[in-house]
A and B are shown apart, each in its own frame.
Chain A
Amino acid sequence: KAGVTQTPRYLIKTRGQQVTLSCSPISGHRSVSWYQQTPGQGLQFLFEYFSETQRNKGNFPGRFSGRQFSNSRSEMNVSTLELGDSALYLCASSATANSGNTIYFGEGSWLTVV
């Protein structure tokens, strides 16, 4: 079956603009998580959704938001972009929200803010 799909793969935005990234999880997966990864850094957790409800949220400003739709697809939005928002944004899905589940990552969306 198809893996986690993220769109767009690459995008360039200007400071002050906003951006929406999309994630389609593996079919049947109900949990979607988002991460930010900057060059040379580990993964910074943004938020996690399960069955359209945000279950966990990382320590990011309110400019970062997300949502999940009834078909489990998810979007994240960053408003008023700053240069420091340039990063690889990764989406991951898992079948349930239980401990010990393997999570499957998409290839990521590379965001460059100029």
Chain B
Amino acid sequence: SQQGEEDPQALSIQEGENATMNCSYKTSINNLQWYRQNSGRGLVHLILIRSNEREKHSGRLRVTLDTSKKSSSLLITASRAADTASYFCATDAVESNYQLIWGAGTKLIIKP
């Protein structure tokens, strides 16, 4: 079953702008990860945030986690054309026997 739900489903912005994607989930988690997928390719790990963390940074990426709202956001600052991809969140639910539960993804398009 899909626990994570990304919002919006699609996002189109101008190069240089910031892009924010959200992920909501339903049950208690151990951690939450964000992945990127370029069209038709495999997924690439971006960042992992643990349930006891509230914010994490990696380069132009900033991830926040609000366990009370069961939601996470991924912010990409100063977007580039190369950021055009689909972004997925994956949760490692406490009761899931370490199985990752994936959202349907947000398709991000960066216009030059």
Q: Chain A residues in contact with chain B, CB under 8 A? A: 4, 33, 35, 41-43, 45, 48, 55-56, 59, 88, 90, 92, 97-100, 102-108, 110
**A45/B99 in contact, CB under 8 A:** yes
Chain B contact residues, CB within 8 Å of chain A: 1-2, 30-31, 33, 35, 40-45, 48, 50, 88, 92, 97-105
B30 interface neighbour in A41, A45, A88, A99, Cβ under 8 Å: A99
Tell me whether A105 and B50 are in contact (CB under 8 A).
no
Of A33, A45, A99, A103, the residue contacting B31 (CB under 8 A) is A99
The 10 A-B residue pairs whose C-beta atoms are closest, nearest first, are A105-B42, A42-B104, A43-B102, A99-B30, A56-B99, A105-B43, A107-B42, A102-B45, A100-B31, A99-B92
Q: Within the complex, what minimum Cβ distance (angstroms) separates B111 from chain A?
A: 20
Q: How far is it, in angstroms, between the C-alpha of A104 and the C-alpha of B33 when the chains are bound?
A: 12
Apart from the given pairs A42-B105, A100-B50, A106-B42, 5 other A-B contacts in the complex at a CB distance below 8 Å: A35-B102, A43-B43, A56-B97, A59-B1, A99-B30
Q: How far, in whole Å, are A42 and B89 apart by their CA atoms in the complex?
A: 10
Known pairs A99-B31, A100-B92; A45 contacts B41 (CB<8 A): no
Contact A45 B102 (CB under 8 A): yes
Contact partner of A100 (CB less than 8 A), chosen from B2, B30, B102, B105, is B30
A42 touching B45, Cβ below 8 Å: no
CB distance from B51 to the nearest CB of A (A): 10
Is the pair B40, A88 in contact by a Cβ cutoff of 8 Å? yes
Query: For A104, what are the chain B residues with a Cβ–Cβ distance below 8 Å?
Result: 45
Contact in complex: A103, B42 (CB < 8 Å): no
